[in-house]
Structure 1
Amino acid sequence: MQRRSLKKTVPTLVGVIILLFGLASGVVLLNARQIFRLGAVDISTPKNVRVSNITDSSFCISFLTAKEVRPFVKVGGDKFFISDIQTIRANEKSNIHYFTINGLLPEREYFFTINSDGVDYFKDNPMTARTGKQIASNTKGGIIYGKVYSKSGEELKDALVYVRGGNGSLVSTKTSGDGSFMFSTSHIRTADLSSYEEFDEERTIIQVLIENIQSTSSITTNLKNSYPFPPIIIGQNLDLRQSSANVDYTVPLPSVFGAFSNQTDIPFFIKNIYKEKLPNFLNEQY
């Protein structure tokens, strides 16, 4: 009798051990998958989401993601039915995302969500933007412009550039293929969007934020020092409000086939770069 009982007990214990081992392995595997999924979501999460270039019929949505993704935004006039206005998809995968929403009504609140890498963000609490009132075109204003370089001296394309002039609303753009950016002050509205911001050469403070996924730069200056800005190296922060400020107007030589140089280029006047672009830019609308 004891031998039979022992024979039955041993397989039972082995079975219990195998079962416990299987459960433990399953839990570990499940946790590993969950951690991997959380990591994947984190690197595709929209960061630094901003609304800018608000007019009576449009606004821009911009943000960064650590992972290169091809996101889309849904915009609606109803908080609970977001896609009733527009769904706009990015053309290609990137870390830097910039969407312009057109065809909107003046003085109306809009809601939007972002889908990044298959995950809907802000679905339960959509982000909002409100268009401004209709106002006549502004014929007064000038051009502020500059050029951005990487830390190794290459022209930095597709960086996000945000500008706030005085107490005006936020405007934005992306750097072009040669690292340049431009804004017309005639397009900048007041913070409440009811009129255009007034600018003074000496007293108006221009604040600029430039960012990509690797780094950011901030520049604070008077209006008179912003056409052009000195060459901007990403990661560099400048305060140009004092005429005696010590500003380095040189940029590093770009790397050639992976070889870097510690020498610098001869300083150059950026304004010549924009000579042919200015007439076209004056006709652009946000």
Structure 2
Amino acid sequence: MNILTKLRIPTLLGLAIILGGLGTGVYLVLQNQYLAVRATPETQPKNITVSNIEDTSAVISWQTDTAVPGFVTIGQKSDNEQTILDDRDQNVPQLYFMHLVTVRNLSPATAYQYRIVSGKNKAEVAQFQTAAASLTENGFKPIVGSVLESGRPLKEGMAYLAISGALVQAGLIKDFGNFIIPIAKMRETNLQGVFQPSKQTTAKLSIVSGAGSATMVFNLTDDGKPLPSIKIGEQLDLTASIANASSSKSSDLDKFDLNNDRFINASDYGIVVKNLGKNPKEKRADLNSDGVVDKKDLDLMSQKISEQK
């Protein structure tokens, strides 16, 4: 064996060791980066809103970029007198992107301190004041509607209602993309009396979710009929005539409007879901009349909902 052969073998072995070491090093760096991201999720609460303020209750809502558990601590003298979980939680906080906490049993016309605890993040202490005591209601029924995302009901979000002269009202988007916003006890911005809207009062609905946002401007009515469905990304103005909001043909309504509210929306999709299988209680849920309510019917309803403007 000559000297070149003796030198070549160690050199090749050394290169293999070096390349192997580099590969291991890159793997460890990527692994550490992955673990670092997983260990520090974005839990900072944003879009914090105190709404639905009445004399003995209020709603605190916020959004996070990562699904995390959240709750609120609150009190008069300090923020840690009481802990309130998300409205959807039973005993243990669950993971959500959109968070809503209803605080009850408060005292009228009283200032409260509160703090949002979102995952491992503790927000700064903030304050709000409850409204003056009142037994009055304005007689208006809740605002009911539904939200779509890519043709299907939005899974999680918040609906906020703003009216000039009144405090903001909010409702959680749930149950097949539906939301309900109570306005019968909606307060004036001065926290004194109950706001008294008229039938043509202009209101603005704002949808907030991890999938995006949407807005709808409309005139209030007292008939309790649901608003037309709104899609994420839309900016609708229905003040000209809410009656023209649905462009569905009569034949479409006859087939797809399963709850007979004159709109084809997530509520109808929910009826199909509830009747999945053979021998459905609601026969009309079998949209293709093949004797069974299944994915084909869900797809038909989704397609028809996506066509609504």
The separation in 2 between residues aligned to 1:39 and 1:252, in whole angstroms, is 40
Question: Which one of 161, 168, 177 corresponds to residue 163 of structure 1?
Answer: 161
- The amino acid that maps onto 2:169 is V
Within 2, Cα distance between the matches of 1:138 and 1:117?
37
Please give the secondary structure, in 2, of the residue aligned with 1:264. helix
Indicate which of 83, 87, 106 corresponds to 1:87.
83
- CA distance in 1: counterparts of 2:72 and 2:172, whole angstroms: 18
Q: Distance in 2 between matches of 1:265 and 1:65?
A: 29
Residue 129 of structure 1 corresponds to 128
From 190, 193, 196, the equivalent of 2:194 is 196
Task: State the Cα distance separating 1:263 from its structure 2 match.
Answer: 4.8
Q: Relative to structure 1, is the Cα distance of residues 38 and 182 closer, same or farther in structure 2, using a 3 angstrom cutoff?
A: closer
Which of 198, 207, 228 is the equivalent residue of 1:210? 207
What is the match of residue 17 of structure 1? none
Partner of 1:77: 76
Q: What amino acid maps onto 1:53 in structure 2?
A: N
**Structure 1 residue aligned with 2:3:** none
User: Matched residues in 2 for 1:223 and 1:149: separation?
Assistant: 22
TM (norm. structure 2) is: 0.63
Residues 136 and 194 of structure 2 are in contact (CA less than 8 Å); yes or no, is this contact kept in structure 1? Answer: no
For 1:221, the equivalent position in structure 2 comes to 218
| Cross-structure match for 2:304 | 264
Q: Give the deviation of 1:40 after TM superposition.
A: 2.5
Equivalents in 2 of 1:244, 1:161: separation in Å? Answer: 19
Q: State the 1:119 CA deviation.
A: 2.4
The residue number in structure 1 matching 2:281 is none
CA distance in 2, matches of 1:56, 1:100: 13
CA distance in 2, matches of 1:244, 1:111: 41
CA offsets 1:160-194 (integer angstroms, 9 cap, x no match): 11112342111111123122223343221111121
Give the C-alpha shift of residue 93 in structure 1: 0.7
Residue segments in structure 2 that go unaligned for 5+ positions in a row: 1-28, 249-263, 270-294
TM-score (norm 1): 0.68
Contact 1:249/1:267, CA 8 A, preserved across alignment: no
Give a deviation string over 1:206-230, Cα, whole Å, max 9, x none. Answer: 1111111121111111114983321
Deviation, 1:55, is 0.7
Aligned partners of 1:164, 1:239: CA distance in 2, in Å? Answer: 14
Inter-partner Cα distance in structure 2 for 1:121 and 1:94: 17
The 3 A distance-change label for structure 1 pair 265 and 139 is: closer
CA contact 1:231–1:249 (8 Å) conserved in 2? no
How many percent of aligned residue pairs carry the same amino acid? 24
Map 1:42-57 → 2, pairs under 5 A: 43-57=42-56
Separation in structure 1 between the aligned mates of residue 265 and residue 103 of structure 2, nearest angstrom: 38
Q: Which residue of 2 aligns with 1:6?
A: none
For structure 1, the 5+ residue unaligned runs are: 1-28, 269-286
Q: Which residue is equivalent to 1:233?
A: 231
Could you say what secondary structure the match of 1:83 adopts?
coil
SS at match of 1:128: strand
